[in-house]
Structure formats: structure tokens, C-alpha cells
Amino acid sequence: MNLDSRIYVAGHRGLVGSAIVRALEQQGYHNLVTRTSQELDLREHDRVEQFFGSEGIEYVFLAAAKVGGIVANRDYPADFIRDNLQIQNNVIDLSYRYGVKKLLFLGSTCIYPKLAPQPMKEEYFMTGTLEPTNEAYAIAKIAGITMCQSYNRQYGTRFISAMPTNLYGPNDNYDLETSHVLPALLRKIHEAKENGRQEVEIWGSGQPKREFLHADDLADACVFLMNQYEGNDIVNIGCGKDVSIRELAESIASIIGYEGQFVYNTSKPDGTPRKLVDVSRLTELGWRASITLEHGLARTYDHFLESHQIFSKPVGG
């Protein structure tokens, strides 16, 4: 990409898209195109075609998606597969039809088998049964990857796919019913401290292990891949380290200054036992994560306090 390339970031208000916009702007890219979902519903083909037909887009970061935590995925599978398929189909196909030079599609590590060997290598893709609680979302992402690969083979496009691990950072979703585990825990523990509660309920056993990558690291990796990577193979993006949900809760409590107890509700699903990605392919290309979990959590809590206007001065940041 040149600094004046016409770059469309789909989903620029979300956790991932907003981080990509920040990364691009920090690196000097100044011809960015964004639209809110109210301005452009990516599920509506005719509106998306009109957009691509008039904007002269050269590069696309496809970060727009319907996302949610384990309960939302379990309870609304039709919404997740329908909306994501519609978004992907429109943006990928119309990127081809209107001459986009390169597209980066963001998938998810949920595309890997539930019981995949750890850490998960890219070649484990499509080798086993998916985790049932987010199967609909995973199948949509698998379709997006396959669509990019198929267009590359048939039409000679340059569409690449990256698989980020669990993400967190500014502009995350803190709704306790639809959020992912890290923002949900952060909000729960913060509110417990504020309200003087001595116990915090955590869904599941606390034993599953997860890898967490700050959104700013992901964004930096995405810009790197757009500029440096060509190929049909998917590329994992992660930090190469994981922690248990129990350890994550303890780390968040330490940053917030909460001294109460955790109660584990084992009637709630644990999900996949472990999800650690092998990042050797990305490392060999020349990129590594730089934000530690401790530092990233402190930054995220500071942003949470600012965005929720709870304190004038962050606690434990």
C-alpha cells in the first residue's frame, strides 16, 4: 500500500476495525474510507455495490462481522451465520468485481477443531469437529476463507485471510450477555469492587485456557500482512502464550484492586478446553506481538474507565 492508497476499513467502529484505523493513521496512511453500519449496511447487496462502484477502493480490511461471546453464539446461531455470510459475500465478491488490489479477511481461531492439538497450526484447519457452541459463526468464517481462496484460484485475486486469537482493547463490548470473556470479567470485577460485593460469579470451571492479544497488536499485524504477505494459506495472529480463565480473573482483580472471592458456576459451558495458536508462520514472516497481557489489561481498564465516565482518574492503571 502507498500512503495515499484508497483503503476501506469495514467495521471501523468495532474493536478490530478501530484498531486498524489507528494503526494505519499512525503509519501515515491518510486516504481511509469508512462507513457506519447505518450509512452502509453490508448485508444489503445493492447498497454495497453502489459503494464500491463509486468509491474507487484499492485495499480492503474486512473487519466487519457479527460477533459475540459463548452464550450469544449458543442462543442466536441463525443470526451469526446469516449476517456474517451476507457481509462476507457482498464485500469479497464486490471487491473482485470493482478491481480491489488486495483484501484482508479476518477470520477467527474458532475455525479450528474443538480438540485440535495445541498449539494450533494453520494446517489443522478443516481436520476435525468444531466447538458446538459457536459452530454457526465458525462455519461462516470458514466460508469466508474458502471464498477468498476460491476467488484467488479462479480470478487471480490477492485476497488473504488472517486468524486472530481472542482479542481485547479499546471499543470492546462490555454487555454481560453478549461480550467475550475478558471484557465481561473486567466489568463484573469492576462493578463488584464499586458495590462492595465480596463474590464474583464466573461462568464455567475457570480451567479452560485462552490466549489474549491486544487489538493494537492485531492491527499492526494486519497492516504488516497487507504489505508483506501473498498467498492462499491462512495465517494465525497471536502472542503464542495462554492463561486459564482463573488466572485471567486474578490478573484483572489485581489491576482493579479487587480483593473478593470468585465463585465458579459450572452449570455454564466451558467451551473449547484450550485455544492457543502456533504463530511460527507469522514470526518467520517477521512480526511478533509486543504488548504484554499485564500492560494490555492496564491500558484496557484505563480506557474502560474513561469511556464509561466512572472516575476521573483510573484505578490500578
The answer to whether residue 101 is domain-embedded is yes
- Residue 267 lies inside a defined structural domain of this protein: no
Secondary structure class of 168 (helix, strand, coil): strand
Query: According to the annotation, is 16 in a ligand binding site?
Result: yes
Residue 229 confidence (pLDDT) = 98
Look at phi and psi of residue 169 and say left if phi exceeds 0, alpha if psi is from -120 to 50, else beta.
left
Q: What's the confidence (pLDDT) of residue 309?
A: 52
Domain that holds residue 35: 7-168+213-237
Which of the residues are catalytic?
137
Mean of the per-residue pLDDT values of the chain? 93
Residue 274 near residue 208, CB atoms below 8 Å: yes
User: Which of 265, 211, 274, 281 minimizes the C-alpha distance to 239?
Assistant: 211
Residue 166 assigned to a binding site:
yes
Beta bridge partners of 166: 212
How do strand 243-244 and strand 209-210 relate by DSSP bridges? antiparallel
Q: Give the global pTM.
A: 0.91
Residue 92 lies in a domain: yes
214 is in an annotated binding site: no
Annotated ligand binding at 17? The verdict is yes
- Indicate the pLDDT class of residue 103, thresholds 50, 70 and 90: very high
Q: What is the pLDDT of residue 316?
A: 40
Assign 72 a pLDDT band (cuts: 50, 70, 90).
confident
Q: What is the pLDDT of residue 178?
A: 75
Percent of the chain at pLDDT above 70? 97
Pick the residue with more confidence: 268 or 142? 142
Task: Place 312 in a pLDDT band, splitting at 50, 70 and 90.
Answer: very low
What is the structure's pLDDT at 227? 98
- Using pLDDT thresholds of 50, 70 and 90, give the confidence band for residue 179: confident
What CATH number did the domain enclosing 42 receive?
A: 3.40.50.720
Contacts of 263 (CB under 8 A, 6+ apart): 199, 200, 201, 202
The answer to whether 273 and 208 are in contact (CB under 8 A) is yes
Report yes or no on 124 lying in a domain.
Answer: yes
| Percent of the chain clearing pLDDT 90 (strictly above) | 85
Q: How confident is the model at residue 19 (pLDDT cuts 50, 70, 90)?
A: very high
167 annotated ligand-binding residue: yes
Q: What is the mean pLDDT of residues 150-169?
A: 97
Task: List helix spans (H) across 169-241.
Answer: 181-195, 215-228
253-269 mean pLDDT: 94
Please check if 66 is assigned to a binding site: no
With respect to residue 2, please indicate whether it lies within any of the assigned structural domains. no
Which amino acid belongs to residue 128?
Answer: G
CA–CA separation, 234 and 232 (whole Å): 7
Quick one: pLDDT at residue 157? 98
196 inside domain: no
Does residue 119 have a cis peptide bond before it, meaning omega lies within 30 degrees of 0?
Answer: yes
Task: Give phi and psi for 256, each to the nearest 5.
Answer: -80, -25
Q: How many structural domains does the chain have?
A: 1
Q: Residue 262: CA atoms inside 13 Å, Cβ hemisphere, count?
A: 23
The answer to whether position 257 is within a domain reads no
pLDDT at 270: 84
- Mean pLDDT throughout 59-64? 98
Residue 112, domain member (yes or no): yes
Question: Is residue 164 a known part of a binding site?
Answer: yes
Number of helices (H), then strands (E), in the chain: 10, 13
Comparing 86-95, 229-238, 250-259, 298-307, the range with the smallest average pLDDT is 298-307
For 197-212, the pLDDT digits (tens) are: 999 999 899 999 999 9
